[in-house]
Structure 1
Amino acid sequence: MSESEPAAESATEAPAEARPPFPPFTAETAAQKVQGAEDAWNTRDPQKVALAYTPDSVWRNRDEFVTGRDEIVAFLTRKWERECDYVLRKSLWSFTDDRIAVRFQYEWHDADEQWWRSYGNELWEFTDIGLMARREASINDVPIAEADRRILGPRPPEERGVDFDLR
């Protein structure tokens, strides 16, 4: 092999785009995937978040349909411009070999300083290299008083894996 030829990937080496943990999921690796998603979304960095999805990933988010990373970045950019001080908690609901079901809550305020708690469920499907190929999200928003907030920042390490109240 010459210096100009790319080195072949070994059978055990994951592609550069790979996002461990990989399917098939166990309870431990599914929980790791959920926490990783929570951590990434709490950065509120659309470019970073989009890298966890396949280039042709398909989403349904509420009543909006999104396809591909460019549309994911545009969607998340709009979302976090509207949903100020967004902070999220996710909880593993169930999993199979390459799918994970998640429930979540996040809090945010609008331009008028009205605080909201958004409740939802997501269904995720992954490729063999750990990228999400499909995401379906159902979400409801409930107005709350600022004094009723309970999600005040990214989850501290001692709270990882701890579930949250339904209301």
Structure 2
Amino acid sequence: MTQCEPNLVTRRSALMSARGFTLVESMVALVVLSIGVIGTIGMCEWAERGLQRGALTTTALALAESRLEAKRSVAWERLLMDDVDQDGIVESVMHDDGLQDDQTNGDGIFTASATQSNIRLVWTVELNRGHEPAGASLATIEARAIFRTMGGQEKEVRVRTIRANPRYVGLSVLS
């Protein structure tokens, strides 16, 4: 027990004789703290961008899904007509004219678009036969939502489904 006592006294005297921090130690601590604060600010900005992108993506997906569902649930004969605000009045008829978002005239892909909450919504209907819903057996319906993030990047969400004509009985072939 007497051997441990000199060790204990040396430690106590070393701790008691410390008078505080030097200027250099204080400045090094301040630099380390500043680097930590700057890193924290950078992480907060990164997290904010991620949250904003996630919120915009969720909103864009909801808009695209709702447009796809509206097209999926409408009567087959009204497939190329749009009631965008669901008030019972047709606001637009889809066209295959090569204008605006419809890239090529006469390609069988009918296109319409709208902008809502800084998100551009473009939807297309592609019939597998002809240019009228009555003559087609299937329609591929696609909705795209395009938006810009805080960083200026353009992002896109796409959803697609295939819908069958409930009245289509096949081609009549005479032998």
Task: Sort the TM-score into its range (normalised by shorter chain).
Answer: under 0.3
Max radius of gyration: which structure? Answer: 2
Q: 1 or 2, which has the higher strand percentage? A: 1
Q: 1 or 2, which has the higher helix percentage? A: 2
Task: Specify which structure has the bigger relative contact order, considering alpha-carbon pairs within 8 angstroms and separated by 6 or more residues.
Answer: 1
